[in-house]
Structures are given as C-alpha cells and as structure tokens.
C-alpha cells in the first residue's frame, strides 16, 4: 500500500519563493494574483465562484513540482518554480522537465527550417528520401503518398497514437525497430491504415517517420540537427533532445511522479521517440518558441510560420494546434509523458502567452487552471471560464444513457444517479457529469471535456467527446 504524501502549503511557498526567475518591474503583484486565482473551466450560474491557491491545488492533486513562464508585451514577464523536483531539490526556473508532446512543434520547426534550406519539401513522397526504412505500401493508401506536410499535421493515415517510453534499465529499440514494432520496441508497427490526406488522427508514429527522414537527409542524429537549427539559434540553453538525458544534466532534471505523488520507478522514462516525446526543457526556454512564432526571424521566415499555423484538418497546423476563440487566434500544444504533464499556449494577434510544466500525472488539471488564472490576470481573450446552467433531466432519460462505452482502447461505465450521471474510468475513479441540456453533460472539475449523448443512425446510443465517438457496447 502506498502512502499518500501531501505537501504543506508553507513548505511549498518557501520552496517557490527561493526559485524566482527574472521578472519585469511591477510583475510580482500580478504573479501573486495568479498564484491565488486558480480556476476551473466551468462555473455554474447562481453559484458562488470559487478560486484556489496554487499551493492548495498542488497538495490536493499530488503535484510535487511546477514551473511557469508568462509572456506579456512581447517578452517574458516572469518565470517561477514551485515545489520539489523529486530528486532532492527545489524546482527553479532552470529545472528541466520532459516536454512530452510539446516536443512535436519544436521538432516541426526543425523540419520546416530544413524545408527553407531546400533539404526537405513539404509535399513530396517521403519514401523518395528515406534511406534506412520505407513506409510500407498499403491498400489503404489508394495511391496517396505520405508527405512531410501530412506527417506534421497528423493527416498521413499512420498508426500509433503515442509512446509509453522505456523504464530505466530497459532495452531501448533503434528507430527502425521502433517503426517496425519489433523487439525491444513496446509499441506496434507504424503503418498506413487510412488514406493519407483524408482524415485527422493524432499519430506520434508519424512524427517518428519524420525523425528518421531528418536523420537520413542530414546524416546527423536528430538531437544535433535540432540543436543546430532551432535550440541554439533561439538561445534555449536548458533544452536538449538527447535521450536518455546525459548524466551531467541530471542535476537539473525533475523526476516524474504518479497519481499519488510518488516518484515513478527510475525517476524518468527514456524516449527514443525524440520528435514525438523526447525534448527536455524549461518553461522559459519554451517561451522563446512562442516569441519566435509571434515575431519570426531567428529560425523561421514569417511565411513559413503562416504555413505552420494554417489549419490542415481538425484545427491542427504543422506541429501546433490552432484555434480561434472570440475572434482571436491562438496556438498551443499539450504534453503527457510518464510522470509529466505540460502545456504551451500563445496568441497570434497579441504578444502574450504562457508555459506551464509539471512533474506529476495529475499535472494536466493544474496546468489548465493556471492558464485560466493567467488569462484572467492579463486580459487574454481566450482560456476563460464558461458559465453553464444545470438542467433538470428525468431519471428515466438519464438511465437511457447508462452502459459501457469503449473509447481510446479503454472502457468507461456510465450510470445514472440523482439528477446527473457518473462516469467510472479505468483507473477506478468516478467523474460526476452534470446535465446542461440537449444530451450534453459537463464535468465541473474540468477533468474531461463535455460529453454529448445521442442515437446513432442505427439507433444505438453513443457518446461523443473531444471529436471522438463511442457506441454503447
């Protein structure tokens, strides 16, 4: 049995106050308001609005360490570390975290710089330049090629969503072994099973094809290419794609933690899937990525950035998710590795944004709440709370939604209770779903997106969540 350890608020605050980065004049008060003003995604009409202290949320959700960087008026307004690394020291602005899938947009910048240099092209069949391995032919391709543009935008029709990484001491596969899904790889082979260019489906496997492509055309390991073309020119001095992290850098590296705040075995997994999940970095370094996208020139040309942020399918460009809320454009990406959660968010029409990185499985909830607090303090047009009205739904109607639904390779069980639904998820936890009308249910704790129930064309009950649909089993 594991003991659940909670960090006393005073301890966390003493650690964070010793880890302040450079801050613009007058920003201390704004930072402190952010620290006191965490908020969920949803408020209920007629109910008091609740705000939370960062340290309280860290304790409640077993998040041992957090690092934040905020951009305002085109520069880093403040950066701050909170809590503990899990490896014997406090989190500072120099503490490195696993960026997880935020590795993808930075890797995309590397690929796009090679396009600018004429080494790669966006719309050619990647098999014409791949040397050590080729994308296997597939009847699903129907003559459509896998291109760099499609790899970057998750529209290449390739399999393998993500990667669990490799525990310390485990044998790590070569890139070719990984792509073919052979021992010691712990994921399936990367193959085409959808017609390229026709659907958006998130594919870390596609980014690994891109990694091989970059290495084959340059003759260099990916980490060196990224350092030469992106990390170095941007001044990202605390960032590397090296996997595993070199021993000399471990002193500044956070350790990952599980749902209960316990350090994961071996402290951190190794990710040979560098472009998909392998970047080690800090919020301050990732803030430089946001600034480059907002004001290009050090790495990419303005027209390249415009291409990067142009949606291909499903509000996803070439490396970044892109969005328009309240008429304002933003870009961003989340990250989820074993024991790490993080988020990057920037705006296209104003020089603002933020990066939040954590060393905890429950850190995703915290990053979202922090971003909403920053949005409120700095007057962002997006990332705001949404007010809802709880609807009254007959118990008979609620019961019509009950059942087991299969989504993302796992089952969830929906049950009706007094006035609302519950969703039991595979980890054993239960999420309360409140009705807001027309078959739509919301999680007031913001752990999952809204769920919509409806009948399929075959008359079967189905639920939709985050652009995915599951039919009741």
Number of folded domains that form the chain = 2
What are the strands, taking DSSP E only, across 226-339?
Answer: 280-281, 321-325, 328-337
pLDDT of res. 13? 38
pLDDT of res. 25? 65
The answer to whether residues 367 and 429 belong to one domain is no
CA separation for the pair 202, 207 (Å, rounded): 10
Task: Assess whether pLDDT exceeds 50 at residue 453.
Answer: yes
Task: Assess whether pLDDT exceeds 80 at residue 174.
Answer: yes
Domain at 310, CATH number: 3.40.710.10
12-26, 158-172, 368-382, 422-436: which range is least confident on average? 12-26
The answer to whether residues 296 and 443 belong to one domain is no
Residue with tokens 């490896």: 87
The answer to whether residues 203 and 230 belong to one domain is yes
Task: Identify whether 419 is part of a domain.
Answer: yes
Using alpha carbons, select from 251, 268, 226 the residue that is nearest to residue 111.
226
For residue 452, the cross-strand partners are 440, 464
The answer to whether residues 298 and 400 belong to one domain is no
Question: Are the CB atoms for 59 and 65 separated by under 8 Å?
Answer: no
Which of 378, 412, 437 is where one domain is finished? 378
The answer to whether residues 180 and 307 belong to one domain is yes
Alpha-carbon Rg of the chain, whole angstroms? 22
With pLDDT > 90 as the criterion, what percentage of the chain qualifies? 83
The answer to whether residues 207 and 301 belong to one domain is yes
pLDDT of res. 265? 96
The answer to whether residues 304 and 167 belong to one domain is yes
Q: At what angle do helices 103-116 and 204-218 cross, to 10 degrees?
A: 40
pLDDT: which is higher, 16 or 54: 54
pLDDT of res. 249? 92
Q: How confident is the model at residue 9 (pLDDT cuts 50, 70, 90)?
A: very low
Task: Identify whether 166 is part of a domain.
Answer: yes
Task: Identify whether 60 is part of a domain.
Answer: no
pLDDT digits 0-9 by tens, 30-39? 999 999 999 9
Burial of 414: CB neighbours in 10 Å, binned 0-12, 13-18, 19+: buried
Tokens of 354: 């933020």
Name the residue range of residue 416's domain: 395-471
């Amino acid at each position: 049995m594991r003991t659940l350890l909670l960090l006393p608020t005073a301890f966390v605050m003493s650690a964070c106050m010793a880890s302040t980065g450079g801050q613009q004049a007058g920003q201390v008060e704004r930072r402190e308001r952010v620290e006191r003003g965490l908020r969920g995604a949803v408020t209920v009409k007629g109910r008091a609005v609740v705000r939370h202290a960062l340290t309280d949320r860290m304790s409640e959700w077993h998040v041992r360490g957090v690092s934040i960087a905020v951009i305002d008026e085109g520069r880093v307004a403040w950066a701050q570390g909170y809590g503990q690394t899990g490896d014997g020291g406090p989190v500072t602005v120099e503490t490195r975290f696993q960026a997880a899938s935020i590795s993808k947009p930075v890797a995309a910048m590397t690929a796009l710089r090679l396009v600018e240099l004429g080494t790669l092209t966006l719309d050619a069949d990647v098999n014409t330049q791949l040397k050590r391995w080729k994308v296997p032919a597939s009847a699903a391709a129907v003559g459509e090629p896998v291109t760099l543009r499609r790899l970057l935008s998750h529209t290449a029709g390739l399999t393998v969503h993500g990667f669990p990484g490799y525990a310390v001491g485990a044998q790590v596969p070569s890139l070719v072994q990984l792509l073919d899904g052979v021992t010691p790889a712990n994921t399936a082979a990367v193959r085409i099973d959808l017609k390229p260019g026709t659907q958006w489906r998130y594919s870390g496997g596609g980014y690994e094809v891109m990694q091989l492509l970059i290495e084959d055309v340059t003759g260099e390991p990916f980490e060196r290419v990224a350092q030469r073309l992106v990390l170095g020119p941007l001044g990202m001095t605390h960032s590397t794609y090296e996997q595993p992290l070199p021993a000399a850098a471990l002193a500044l590296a956070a350790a990952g933690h599980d749902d209960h705040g316990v350090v994961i075995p071996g402290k951190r997994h190794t990710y040979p899937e560098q472009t998909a999940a392998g970047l080690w970095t800090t919020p301050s370094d990732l803030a430089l990525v946001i600034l480059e996208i907002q004001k290009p020139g050090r790495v990419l040309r303005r027209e390249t950035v415009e291409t990067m942020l142009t949606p291909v399918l499903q509000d996803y460009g070439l490396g970044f998710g892109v969005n328009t809320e309240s008429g304002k454009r933003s870009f961003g990406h989340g990250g989820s590795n074993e024991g790490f959660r993080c988020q990057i968010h920037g705006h296209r029409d104003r020089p603002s944004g933020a990066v939040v990185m954590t060393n905890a499985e429950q850190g995703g909830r915290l990053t979202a709440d922090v971003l909403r607090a920053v949005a409120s303090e700095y007057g962002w047009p997006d990332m705001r709370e949404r007010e809802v009205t709880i609807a009254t739904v007959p118990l008979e109607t609620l019961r019509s939604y009950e059942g087991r639904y299969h989504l993302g390779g796992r089952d969830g069980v929906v049950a009706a209770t007094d006035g609302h639904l519950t969703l039991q998820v595979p980890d054993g936890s239960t999420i309360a779903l409140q009705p807001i009308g027309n078959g739509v249910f919301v999680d007031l704790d913001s752990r999952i997106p809204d769920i919509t129930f409806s009948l399929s064309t075959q008359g079967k009950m189905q639920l939709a969540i985050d652009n995915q649909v599951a039919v009741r089993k």
